[in-house]
Amino acid sequence: MSRLEENFTKFRYQDWLPLSNEDIYQLNEKDFQLINDPQEKFKEDFVDKSYHSMVDLLSINIRNYNRLNRKIKDIKKSEQKKYPFIIGVAGSVASGKSTFSRILELLLKKSLKGLNIKLLTTDGFLFPNSVLEENNLMEKKGFPESYDTDSFYKFLSSVKAGVSKIYAPIYSHNLYDIIPDEKLEIIDPDVVIIEGINVLQSAKLKDRKIILEARDFVNFSIYLDADERYLRQWYIDRFLSLRLAALNNKEDFFNRFSSTDIDQAKEIANSIWEKINLKNLNENILPTKYKANLILKKNINHKTNEIWLRNI
């Protein structure tokens, strides 16, 4: 066991039991429709008991955080701002972050009724393709240098400062680019879930010596972990699914691959994984794993089989 691993208490799935009544976490057909995402294949049995305990744990943290904020406001007689509890969800490309975060959002809404919970992805803070092309960064898309780090950290600072109304850029996986002139509006959130491969990465802002860490902004972070062979297979499966969905849509980025046969498409997906995603995983994403408060280890079926909770 490494020194970094010693910072965590490890639970087997069967020992990671719910702290409260499981009935509040029952999802209905409408919930499943909201979860479904063309980027991630969703199955109802993804929502196992590991989610229940995790949401219980987060709900306790959020309630305590809100109580503390209320006490501070009472003592200082300060302005009644909302200071959102920020949850970061990190992990490799194709690790299932989007689906996981959607499920987490829905379950938190059931557990914390009345709280305003918002979800967004850091993909929106990628530079537009025109900027990436101009700087020869298209093959580095997803690497730290492909993000508008200044804008991302200004956004995080605004959330953390309790700014009432904030806006985030929107990314389209179909266009494979930022959607121009469209913004996600977030008003008075109580909880903000931010998912993305760069959520736990360090960032040195331009012309500044200070290196910022996600932990400066995030109250609780989760890393989705899986063997590289599983991640590779999930990426190839997702690539094939997106290629098929784009068959009759020439504006869809993946339409360009729809005329290739399935074996060629698999080769292309595997090549992209090897040259870009695996390199990014090893150099920039995997090294952040031990910064998380909670590490969920997934098997080939996207089911959690081991949970690592950072020691208090």
Three-class HEC string of 182-209 = EEEEEECCCEEEEECCCCCCCEECCCCC
Does the global pTM surpass 0.85? yes
pLDDT given at position 43 = 56
Residue 51 lies in a domain: yes
Q: What CATH number has the domain bearing residue 95?
A: 3.40.50.300
Task: Give the pLDDT confidence score for residue 41 in this predicted structure.
Answer: 56
Q: Classify residue 69: in a domain, yes or no.
A: yes
Q: Residues 90, 94, 97, 99: what is their CA dihedral angle, to the nearest 10 degrees?
A: 180
CA nearest neighbour of 90 among 275, 301, 280:
280
The answer as to whether 155 is a domain residue is no
Please count the structural domains in the chain: 1
**Residue 134 located in a structural domain:** no
The answer to whether residue 57 sits within a structural domain is yes
How would you write the pLDDT of the chain (312 residues) with one tens digit per residue? 678 888 999 998 878 766 655 666 677 777 777 666 655 555 555 576 778 889 999 999 999 999 998 888 777 766 667 899 999 999 999 999 998 999 999 999 989 999 999 999 999 999 999 999 999 999 999 999 999 999 999 999 999 999 999 999 999 988 999 999 899 999 999 999 999 999 999 876 666 666 788 778 999 999 999 999 999 999 999 999 999 889 889 889 999 998 899 999 999 999 999 999 999 999 999 999 999 999 999 999 888 889 999 997
At residue 124, the pLDDT reads: 97
Comparing C-alpha atoms, which of 94, 226, 297 is closest to residue 305? 297
Residue 168, domain member (yes or no): no
| Domain-located, residue 142 | no
Domain of 106, in residue numbers? 5-121+189-310
Predicted pLDDT at 26: 72
- Please check whether residue 111 lies inside any domain of the structure: yes
Distance CA 207, CA 148 (A): 14
Q: Is the CB of residue 267 less than 8 Å from the CB of residue 240?
A: no
Neighbours of 60 (CB within 10 A): 13
